Structure 1
Amino acid sequence: MSAQVETAIFDLLAKVAPGKSISPEDVARAVEPEGWRRLLGHVRATAVGLARQNQLVITRHGKPADPEDFKGVYRLRLPEPAGAPASEEGA
């Protein structure tokens, strides 16, 4: 399941403008359109793993969140290229 979630995350991020983010719900719906709610925990766990590897940024209120300690609503985006200015949040 994690491989499907990871693939969905990167497929969806490839479709948005650089610096823009996606919601965990978007990812879950891409993997399982009917039963997406039950996948939200898998999406979160996969996102945390990817953030630990610096392949993904978890954001809260448009700012990077600590993947080890965040609560509530969050979004996912790709890391900014080195030397690039930080962009505004939103999809």
Structure 2
Amino acid sequence: MRRTGSFDCPSDAARAVDPEDWRRLMPAAREAAGRLAAAGDVEVTQRGAVVDVATARGPVRIRRPSRN
């Protein structure tokens, strides 16, 4: 069960805003993920590897940054 306010991918956020027409919100959701990643607040991943959301094609996930 997903916690309120917690999203794994940009489409989760878009669906929370507009369940009927969420696809139109995807560019803005991915841009927001990119801004958060650039600020170091999140990491955007694809198949477990950190990627640049601006160049990634297909589904991506958002996670808290790993602290090494």
TM-score, normalisation: structure 2: 0.78
Distance in 2, Cα, partners of 1:71 & 1:52: 18
Which structure's relative contact order is higher, taking Cα pairs within 8 Å and 6+ residues apart?
A: 1
Structure 1 unmatched ranges of 5 or more? 1-10, 14-21, 84-91
Partner in structure 1 of residue 27 of structure 2: 41
Q: Equivalent residue of 2:27, what SS?
A: helix
The 1:54/1:31 distance shift into structure 2, 3 A limit, reads same
Identity of aligned residues (%): 36
- How many residue pairs match? The answer is 64
In terms of fraction of residues, the more helix-rich structure is 1
Equivalent residue letter for 2:63? R
Amino acid at match of 1:60: Q
Runs of 4+ in 1 over 6 A off after TM superposition: none
Unaligned residue ranges in structure 2 (runs of 5+): none
The structure whose Rg is larger is: 1
RMSD: 1.6
Structure 1 length as normaliser, TM-score? 0.61
